[in-house]
Amino acid sequence: MVQSVLGSLILGYRPLWNRTRKLAGIQLYAHNEASATVDGGHLLRTLQELWSASSPPLLISAQTRQLLCDLLENAPRAAPWIEVRGEWLSDSAIYDRVKAAHQRGLRMVWRGDMDKLPEPEIARCFDNSLLTLRPEDAVAALQATPPRPGSAAAAAGPVAKRTPSPVLAGQMYENIASRALMEHCLDQGNAMALAGWPTEDVLYSLRHHPQQPSHAVIFKLMKAIDDEQSLETFEDIMGEDPLLAYRFMVYTNSAALGLRTGIDSLRRGLVMMGYSSIKRWLSDQLPHASTEANMQPVREAMVIRAQLTARLLDAGIENDLRREIYLCGLLSQLDELLGEPLGTILKRLPLSERIYDATVLRTGPYTGGLQMACALETDDASAIRQLCETFEMDLEEVNRALLRVLSDLEVERK
Protein backbone atom coordinates (compact mmCIF):
# COMPACT_ATOMS: atom_id res chain seq x y z
CA MET A 1 0.00 0.00 0.00
CA VAL A 2 1.35 3.43 -0.97
CA GLN A 3 1.60 5.75 2.00
CA SER A 4 -0.61 8.83 1.70
CA VAL A 5 1.17 12.14 1.22
CA LEU A 6 -1.04 13.50 4.02
CA GLY A 7 0.93 11.52 6.58
CA SER A 8 4.16 13.41 5.81
CA LEU A 9 2.84 16.98 5.60
CA ILE A 10 1.67 19.49 8.19
CA LEU A 11 -1.15 21.60 6.80
CA GLY A 12 -2.79 24.81 8.01
CA TYR A 13 -5.11 27.37 6.43
CA ARG A 14 -6.14 31.01 6.23
CA PRO A 15 -9.35 32.28 4.58
CA LEU A 16 -9.21 34.81 1.75
CA TRP A 17 -12.02 37.44 1.97
CA ASN A 18 -13.24 39.53 -0.96
CA ARG A 19 -14.79 42.98 -1.28
CA THR A 20 -18.29 41.75 -0.38
CA ARG A 21 -16.83 40.25 2.84
CA LYS A 22 -17.49 36.76 1.52
CA LEU A 23 -15.10 33.83 1.30
CA ALA A 24 -13.09 34.11 -1.93
CA GLY A 25 -10.68 31.21 -1.41
CA ILE A 26 -8.34 29.45 1.01
CA GLN A 27 -4.60 29.83 1.53
CA LEU A 28 -3.37 26.33 2.34
CA TYR A 29 -0.05 26.15 4.22
CA ALA A 30 1.91 22.98 3.47
CA HIS A 31 5.02 22.12 5.50
CA ASN A 32 7.14 19.00 5.17
CA GLU A 33 9.74 17.82 7.66
CA ALA A 34 13.34 18.42 6.60
CA SER A 35 13.90 14.66 6.66
CA ALA A 36 10.88 13.91 4.44
CA THR A 37 10.89 14.49 0.69
CA VAL A 38 7.27 15.02 -0.33
CA ASP A 39 5.81 14.28 -3.73
CA GLY A 40 4.10 17.54 -4.74
CA GLY A 41 2.25 15.79 -7.58
CA HIS A 42 0.74 13.35 -5.07
CA LEU A 43 -0.48 16.26 -2.94
CA LEU A 44 -2.11 17.91 -5.95
CA ARG A 45 -3.85 14.67 -6.95
CA THR A 46 -5.13 14.24 -3.38
CA LEU A 47 -6.55 17.77 -3.42
CA GLN A 48 -8.15 17.18 -6.81
CA GLU A 49 -9.92 14.08 -5.47
CA LEU A 50 -11.32 15.96 -2.48
CA TRP A 51 -12.27 19.22 -4.24
CA SER A 52 -15.57 19.76 -6.07
CA ALA A 53 -16.79 22.49 -8.42
CA SER A 54 -18.30 24.42 -5.49
CA SER A 55 -15.22 24.15 -3.23
CA PRO A 56 -13.20 27.33 -2.63
CA PRO A 57 -10.25 28.17 -4.92
CA LEU A 58 -6.90 27.28 -3.34
CA LEU A 59 -3.62 29.11 -2.96
CA ILE A 60 -0.97 26.58 -1.95
CA SER A 61 1.72 28.09 0.26
CA ALA A 62 4.67 25.69 0.43
CA GLN A 63 6.61 26.35 3.64
CA THR A 64 9.83 24.67 2.44
CA ARG A 65 11.88 25.15 -0.71
CA GLN A 66 11.94 21.42 -1.45
CA LEU A 67 8.16 21.21 -1.53
CA LEU A 68 7.86 24.38 -3.62
CA CYS A 69 10.37 23.03 -6.17
CA ASP A 70 8.41 19.79 -6.40
CA LEU A 71 5.10 21.61 -6.86
CA LEU A 72 6.54 23.90 -9.54
CA GLU A 73 7.94 20.92 -11.37
CA ASN A 74 4.87 18.68 -11.20
CA ALA A 75 1.83 20.95 -11.11
CA PRO A 76 -0.32 20.70 -14.24
CA ARG A 77 -1.72 23.80 -15.90
CA ALA A 78 -5.11 23.49 -14.14
CA ALA A 79 -3.58 23.18 -10.66
CA PRO A 80 -4.46 25.57 -7.82
CA TRP A 81 -2.47 28.77 -7.52
CA ILE A 82 1.05 28.16 -6.23
CA GLU A 83 2.61 30.82 -4.00
CA VAL A 84 6.28 31.76 -4.47
CA ARG A 85 8.01 33.87 -1.83
CA GLY A 86 9.87 36.82 -3.31
CA GLU A 87 13.05 36.19 -1.30
CA TRP A 88 13.21 32.59 -2.56
CA LEU A 89 13.63 33.75 -6.17
CA SER A 90 17.32 34.37 -5.43
CA ASP A 91 17.60 30.55 -5.37
CA SER A 92 18.40 29.59 -8.98
CA ALA A 93 16.63 26.22 -8.60
CA ILE A 94 13.37 28.05 -7.78
CA TYR A 95 13.92 30.86 -10.29
CA ASP A 96 14.44 28.39 -13.16
CA ARG A 97 11.41 26.31 -12.15
CA VAL A 98 9.21 29.43 -11.99
CA LYS A 99 10.20 30.33 -15.56
CA ALA A 100 9.54 26.78 -16.78
CA ALA A 101 6.21 26.57 -14.89
CA HIS A 102 5.10 29.86 -16.46
CA GLN A 103 5.89 28.43 -19.92
CA ARG A 104 3.57 25.50 -19.05
CA GLY A 105 0.78 27.91 -18.10
CA LEU A 106 0.91 27.30 -14.34
CA ARG A 107 -0.77 30.08 -12.33
CA MET A 108 1.51 31.47 -9.64
CA VAL A 109 1.26 34.14 -6.95
CA TRP A 110 4.25 36.28 -5.87
CA ARG A 111 4.34 36.87 -2.09
CA GLY A 112 6.35 39.62 -0.44
CA ASP A 113 6.69 43.25 0.62
CA MET A 114 5.33 46.08 -1.52
CA ASP A 115 8.78 47.67 -1.76
CA LYS A 116 10.43 44.52 -3.10
CA LEU A 117 8.32 43.80 -6.17
CA PRO A 118 10.09 41.60 -8.74
CA GLU A 119 11.79 42.85 -11.88
CA PRO A 120 9.48 42.99 -14.95
CA GLU A 121 11.06 39.92 -16.57
CA ILE A 122 10.14 37.61 -13.65
CA ALA A 123 7.02 39.59 -12.67
CA ARG A 124 5.43 38.48 -15.97
CA CYS A 125 5.47 34.89 -14.67
CA PHE A 126 2.93 35.68 -11.96
CA ASP A 127 -0.84 35.97 -12.27
CA ASN A 128 -1.27 37.77 -8.96
CA SER A 129 0.53 38.76 -5.78
CA LEU A 130 0.03 38.50 -2.01
CA LEU A 131 1.46 41.73 -0.68
CA THR A 132 2.46 43.14 2.71
CA LEU A 133 2.25 46.91 3.16
CA ARG A 134 5.12 48.60 4.98
CA PRO A 135 4.07 50.96 7.82
CA GLU A 136 4.75 53.98 5.59
CA ASP A 137 2.61 52.41 2.81
CA ALA A 138 -0.21 51.90 5.30
CA VAL A 139 -0.02 55.55 6.38
CA ALA A 140 -0.02 56.71 2.74
CA ALA A 141 -3.01 54.48 1.97
CA LEU A 142 -5.00 55.88 4.89
CA GLN A 143 -4.10 59.46 3.91
CA ALA A 144 -5.39 58.72 0.41
CA THR A 145 -8.74 57.52 1.81
CA PRO A 146 -11.55 60.05 1.37
CA PRO A 147 -13.19 60.96 4.72
CA ARG A 148 -16.43 59.21 5.62
CA PRO A 149 -19.56 61.30 4.90
CA GLY A 150 -20.63 63.09 8.08
CA SER A 151 -17.20 62.87 9.71
CA ALA A 152 -15.36 65.91 11.10
CA ALA A 153 -12.82 65.66 8.27
CA ALA A 154 -15.60 65.72 5.67
CA ALA A 155 -17.26 68.70 7.39
CA ALA A 156 -13.99 70.63 7.26
CA GLY A 157 -14.39 70.89 3.52
CA PRO A 158 -11.94 70.11 0.68
CA VAL A 159 -8.32 69.60 1.55
CA ALA A 160 -5.14 69.67 -0.48
CA LYS A 161 -4.89 67.15 -3.28
CA ARG A 162 -4.58 63.65 -1.85
CA THR A 163 -1.52 61.53 -2.48
CA PRO A 164 -2.25 58.44 -4.59
CA SER A 165 -2.70 55.23 -2.64
CA PRO A 166 0.09 52.64 -2.88
CA VAL A 167 -2.55 49.87 -2.89
CA LEU A 168 -2.56 48.08 -6.26
CA ALA A 169 -5.97 47.10 -7.60
CA GLY A 170 -6.67 43.43 -8.24
CA GLN A 171 -3.96 42.13 -5.89
CA MET A 172 -4.23 40.28 -2.56
CA TYR A 173 -2.99 41.65 0.76
CA GLU A 174 -2.02 40.12 4.10
CA ASN A 175 -1.17 41.31 7.64
CA ILE A 176 -3.83 44.03 7.52
CA ALA A 177 -4.49 44.65 11.21
CA SER A 178 -6.76 47.72 11.10
CA ARG A 179 -10.37 48.03 10.03
CA ALA A 180 -9.66 51.37 8.26
CA LEU A 181 -6.85 49.87 6.18
CA MET A 182 -8.94 46.79 5.37
CA GLU A 183 -11.78 49.03 4.14
CA HIS A 184 -9.33 51.11 2.08
CA CYS A 185 -7.80 48.01 0.43
CA LEU A 186 -11.12 46.39 -0.43
CA ASP A 187 -13.45 49.34 -0.99
CA GLN A 188 -11.21 52.09 -2.44
CA GLY A 189 -8.19 50.09 -3.57
CA ASN A 190 -10.20 47.31 -5.28
CA ALA A 191 -7.97 44.62 -3.81
CA MET A 192 -8.91 41.15 -4.98
CA ALA A 193 -8.88 39.68 -1.44
CA LEU A 194 -7.44 39.91 2.04
CA ALA A 195 -5.69 36.90 3.57
CA GLY A 196 -6.98 36.82 7.14
CA TRP A 197 -9.20 39.48 8.74
CA PRO A 198 -8.58 42.32 11.25
CA THR A 199 -11.04 40.73 13.70
CA GLU A 200 -9.63 42.41 16.80
CA ASP A 201 -9.89 45.92 15.36
CA VAL A 202 -13.32 45.30 13.81
CA LEU A 203 -14.66 44.18 17.20
CA TYR A 204 -12.93 47.10 18.94
CA SER A 205 -14.45 49.59 16.51
CA LEU A 206 -17.92 48.20 17.33
CA ARG A 207 -17.37 48.09 21.11
CA HIS A 208 -20.01 50.75 21.84
CA HIS A 209 -22.66 48.81 19.91
CA PRO A 210 -23.76 45.56 21.59
CA GLN A 211 -23.21 42.67 19.18
CA GLN A 212 -26.39 41.29 17.59
CA PRO A 213 -27.04 38.12 15.55
CA SER A 214 -26.84 38.37 11.78
CA HIS A 215 -29.91 39.73 9.98
CA ALA A 216 -29.15 37.49 6.98
CA VAL A 217 -29.00 34.30 9.09
CA ILE A 218 -32.25 35.12 10.97
CA PHE A 219 -33.99 35.86 7.67
CA LYS A 220 -32.66 32.62 6.14
CA LEU A 221 -33.98 30.61 9.11
CA MET A 222 -37.41 32.24 8.95
CA LYS A 223 -37.61 31.40 5.24
CA ALA A 224 -36.61 27.78 5.94
CA ILE A 225 -39.44 27.52 8.51
CA ASP A 226 -41.90 29.01 5.97
CA ASP A 227 -40.72 26.45 3.41
CA GLU A 228 -41.27 23.65 5.98
CA GLN A 229 -37.73 22.37 5.65
CA SER A 230 -36.26 19.71 7.95
CA LEU A 231 -35.28 20.07 11.60
CA GLU A 232 -31.66 19.36 10.54
CA THR A 233 -31.82 22.36 8.18
CA PHE A 234 -33.09 24.66 10.96
CA GLU A 235 -30.33 23.46 13.26
CA ASP A 236 -27.67 23.91 10.56
CA ILE A 237 -28.79 27.49 9.80
CA MET A 238 -28.93 28.46 13.48
CA GLY A 239 -25.42 27.02 13.80
CA GLU A 240 -24.19 29.56 11.22
CA ASP A 241 -24.23 32.31 13.85
CA PRO A 242 -22.66 31.75 17.30
CA LEU A 243 -24.56 34.67 18.83
CA LEU A 244 -27.94 33.54 17.47
CA ALA A 245 -27.31 30.01 18.76
CA TYR A 246 -26.36 31.39 22.20
CA ARG A 247 -29.34 33.78 22.41
CA PHE A 248 -31.72 31.00 21.38
CA MET A 249 -30.41 28.72 24.12
CA VAL A 250 -30.61 31.49 26.73
CA TYR A 251 -34.23 32.09 25.69
CA THR A 252 -35.23 28.42 25.72
CA ASN A 253 -33.80 28.13 29.23
CA SER A 254 -35.47 31.31 30.52
CA ALA A 255 -38.10 31.34 33.24
CA ALA A 256 -40.53 32.86 30.72
CA LEU A 257 -40.80 29.54 28.90
CA GLY A 258 -41.03 27.54 32.11
CA LEU A 259 -39.68 24.32 30.62
CA ARG A 260 -39.03 21.70 33.27
CA THR A 261 -35.75 20.35 31.90
CA GLY A 262 -32.69 22.33 30.91
CA ILE A 263 -32.18 22.77 27.16
CA ASP A 264 -28.58 21.77 26.47
CA SER A 265 -28.62 21.68 22.65
CA LEU A 266 -30.02 23.61 19.70
CA ARG A 267 -31.98 20.58 18.52
CA ARG A 268 -33.72 20.06 21.86
CA GLY A 269 -34.65 23.73 21.94
CA LEU A 270 -36.07 23.59 18.41
CA VAL A 271 -38.13 20.50 19.24
CA MET A 272 -39.45 21.85 22.57
CA MET A 273 -40.47 25.28 21.25
CA GLY A 274 -42.36 24.38 18.11
CA TYR A 275 -42.02 26.16 14.79
CA SER A 276 -44.58 28.93 15.26
CA SER A 277 -42.98 29.95 18.58
CA ILE A 278 -39.51 29.88 17.01
CA LYS A 279 -40.67 32.09 14.16
CA ARG A 280 -42.25 34.52 16.59
CA TRP A 281 -39.00 34.71 18.56
CA LEU A 282 -36.98 35.23 15.36
CA SER A 283 -39.35 38.05 14.32
CA ASP A 284 -38.59 39.76 17.63
CA GLN A 285 -34.83 39.49 16.92
CA LEU A 286 -35.03 40.84 13.38
CA PRO A 287 -35.43 44.60 14.05
CA HIS A 288 -32.22 44.66 16.15
CA ALA A 289 -30.24 42.23 13.98
CA SER A 290 -26.79 43.14 12.63
CA THR A 291 -26.26 44.14 9.02
CA GLU A 292 -22.58 45.06 9.66
CA ALA A 293 -20.76 43.54 6.68
CA ASN A 294 -17.38 43.58 8.44
CA MET A 295 -18.71 41.08 11.00
CA GLN A 296 -19.43 38.48 8.34
CA PRO A 297 -15.84 37.10 8.12
CA VAL A 298 -15.64 37.10 11.94
CA ARG A 299 -18.74 34.88 12.20
CA GLU A 300 -17.75 32.65 9.29
CA ALA A 301 -14.30 32.00 10.76
CA MET A 302 -15.95 30.93 14.03
CA VAL A 303 -18.23 28.56 12.13
CA ILE A 304 -15.24 27.01 10.29
CA ARG A 305 -13.55 26.43 13.66
CA ALA A 306 -16.71 24.70 14.94
CA GLN A 307 -16.92 22.49 11.83
CA LEU A 308 -13.26 21.58 12.18
CA THR A 309 -13.56 20.75 15.90
CA ALA A 310 -16.48 18.43 15.17
CA ARG A 311 -14.68 16.77 12.25
CA LEU A 312 -11.43 16.27 14.17
CA LEU A 313 -13.23 14.48 17.00
CA ASP A 314 -15.53 12.47 14.74
CA ALA A 315 -14.69 8.80 15.18
CA GLY A 316 -18.02 7.33 14.19
CA ILE A 317 -19.70 8.93 17.20
CA GLU A 318 -23.45 9.36 17.56
CA ASN A 319 -25.18 12.47 16.23
CA ASP A 320 -25.97 13.99 19.63
CA LEU A 321 -22.30 13.99 20.58
CA ARG A 322 -21.26 15.37 17.20
CA ARG A 323 -23.71 18.27 17.66
CA GLU A 324 -22.36 18.86 21.17
CA ILE A 325 -18.78 19.04 19.86
CA TYR A 326 -19.89 21.47 17.13
CA LEU A 327 -21.51 23.66 19.80
CA CYS A 328 -18.27 23.51 21.79
CA GLY A 329 -16.33 24.96 18.83
CA LEU A 330 -19.08 27.47 17.95
CA LEU A 331 -19.33 28.98 21.44
CA SER A 332 -15.57 28.96 22.13
CA GLN A 333 -15.09 32.62 21.08
CA LEU A 334 -18.26 34.17 22.51
CA ASP A 335 -16.13 36.20 24.92
CA GLU A 336 -14.77 38.14 21.92
CA LEU A 337 -18.30 38.97 20.77
CA LEU A 338 -19.82 39.74 24.16
CA GLY A 339 -16.83 41.29 25.91
CA GLU A 340 -17.07 39.27 29.11
CA PRO A 341 -15.32 36.13 30.39
CA LEU A 342 -16.26 32.95 28.57
CA GLY A 343 -16.78 31.08 31.86
CA THR A 344 -19.40 33.64 32.94
CA ILE A 345 -21.19 33.40 29.58
CA LEU A 346 -21.33 29.60 29.49
CA LYS A 347 -22.48 29.29 33.11
CA ARG A 348 -25.80 30.85 32.03
CA LEU A 349 -26.61 27.71 30.06
CA PRO A 350 -27.12 24.09 31.23
CA LEU A 351 -24.44 22.88 28.80
CA SER A 352 -22.49 19.65 29.06
CA GLU A 353 -19.52 20.00 31.40
CA ARG A 354 -17.38 18.77 28.51
CA ILE A 355 -17.98 22.07 26.67
CA TYR A 356 -17.02 24.20 29.69
CA ASP A 357 -13.99 22.00 30.39
CA ALA A 358 -12.64 22.31 26.82
CA THR A 359 -13.31 26.01 26.25
CA VAL A 360 -12.56 27.45 29.70
CA LEU A 361 -10.41 24.93 31.59
CA ARG A 362 -8.70 23.39 28.50
CA THR A 363 -9.26 19.89 29.84
CA GLY A 364 -11.51 16.95 29.04
CA PRO A 365 -12.27 14.92 25.92
CA TYR A 366 -12.93 17.85 23.56
CA THR A 367 -9.87 19.94 24.34
CA GLY A 368 -7.54 18.21 21.84
CA GLY A 369 -9.94 18.76 18.94
CA LEU A 370 -10.60 22.38 19.89
CA GLN A 371 -6.92 23.24 20.38
CA MET A 372 -6.04 21.56 17.09
CA ALA A 373 -8.80 23.46 15.25
CA CYS A 374 -7.25 26.69 16.59
CA ALA A 375 -3.70 25.66 15.65
CA LEU A 376 -4.74 24.79 12.08
CA GLU A 377 -5.72 28.45 11.60
CA THR A 378 -1.98 29.25 11.53
CA ASP A 379 1.22 28.28 9.70
CA ASP A 380 2.78 27.12 12.99
CA ALA A 381 3.86 23.58 12.05
CA SER A 382 5.64 22.94 15.37
CA ALA A 383 2.47 23.72 17.38
CA ILE A 384 0.43 21.33 15.23
CA ARG A 385 3.08 18.62 15.55
CA GLN A 386 3.18 19.10 19.33
CA LEU A 387 -0.62 18.79 19.62
CA CYS A 388 -0.53 15.55 17.58
CA GLU A 389 1.94 14.14 20.12
CA THR A 390 0.17 15.47 23.22
CA PHE A 391 -3.28 14.21 22.23
CA GLU A 392 -2.12 11.18 20.23
CA MET A 393 -3.77 12.43 17.06
CA ASP A 394 -2.77 10.91 13.74
CA LEU A 395 -1.33 13.57 11.41
CA GLU A 396 -2.89 12.04 8.31
CA GLU A 397 -6.33 12.00 9.98
CA VAL A 398 -5.91 15.63 11.09
CA ASN A 399 -4.99 16.70 7.54
CA ARG A 400 -7.84 14.71 6.03
CA ALA A 401 -10.32 16.30 8.46
CA LEU A 402 -9.02 19.77 7.58
CA LEU A 403 -9.24 19.20 3.82
CA ARG A 404 -12.76 17.76 4.07
CA VAL A 405 -13.99 20.79 6.02
CA LEU A 406 -12.29 23.22 3.60
CA SER A 407 -13.56 21.43 0.49
CA ASP A 408 -17.13 21.58 1.85
CA LEU A 409 -17.01 25.37 2.16
CA GLU A 410 -18.82 27.17 -0.63
CA VAL A 411 -17.88 30.35 -2.46
CA GLU A 412 -20.04 32.46 -4.73
CA ARG A 413 -18.70 32.30 -8.26
CA LYS A 414 -19.51 35.11 -10.65
Average pLDDT over residues 21-36: 91
Tens-digit pLDDT profile for residues 59-88: 999 999 999 999 999 999 889 999 999 999
pLDDT of residue 301: 97
Predicted local distance difference test score (pLDDT) of residue 39: 85
* Predicted confidence (pLDDT) per residue in 122-167, tens digit: 999 999 999 999 999 999 998 887 666 555 445 445 544 567 889 9
Confidence check: pLDDT of 168 > 70: yes
Residues of the chain with pLDDT > 70: what percent? Answer: 93
C-alpha span between 197 and 185 (Å, rounded) = 12
Give the pLDDT score at 2.
Answer: 41
Distance (Å, whole) CA 304 – CA 409: 8
Q: What is the pLDDT of residues 364-396, one digit of tens each?
A: 999 999 999 999 999 999 999 999 999 999 999
Could you tell me what percent of the chain has a pLDDT over 90? 79
Query: 298-308, pLDDT tens digit by residue?
Result: 999 999 999 99
DSSP string, 48-86: HHH--TTSPPEEEEESSHHHHHHHHHH--TTSPEEEEEG
The mean pLDDT of 204-216, rounded to a whole number, is: 93
Q: What is the pLDDT of residue 262?
A: 84
> Average pLDDT in the 269-297 region?
93
What's the pLDDT tens digit per position in 237-263?
Answer: 999 999 999 999 999 998 767 766 788
| pLDDT tens profile 93-119 | 999 999 999 999 999 999 999 989 999
Closest-CA residue to 264 (of 350, 326, 353) = 350
Higher pLDDT, 413 or 249: 249
Q: Would you place residue 197 in the very low, low, confident or very high pLDDT band (cuts 50, 70, 90)?
A: very high
Within the chain, what is the greatest distance between any pair of CA atoms? 73
pLDDT band at residue 349 using 50, 70 and 90 as cut-offs: very high
257 against 223, higher pLDDT: 223
**Alpha-carbon separation of residue 128 from 54, 171, 193, 344 (angstroms):** 22, 6, 11, 46
Alpha-carbon torsion (40, 42, 45, 47), positive or negative = negative
**Residue 160 has what pLDDT?**
47
Q: Which pLDDT score is estimated for 91?
A: 95
What separation in angstroms does the CA of 291 have from each of 11, 65, 149, 235, 295? Answer: 34, 44, 19, 21, 8
Task: Kindly report the average pLDDT of the chain as a whole number.
Answer: 91
Predicted confidence at residue 96, as pLDDT, reads 96
Q: What span, in angstroms and rounded, lies between the C-alpha atoms of 408 and 396?
A: 18
Average pLDDT over residues 47-67: 95
Q: CA–CA distance from 345 to each of 251, 273, 413 (Å)?
A: 14, 23, 38
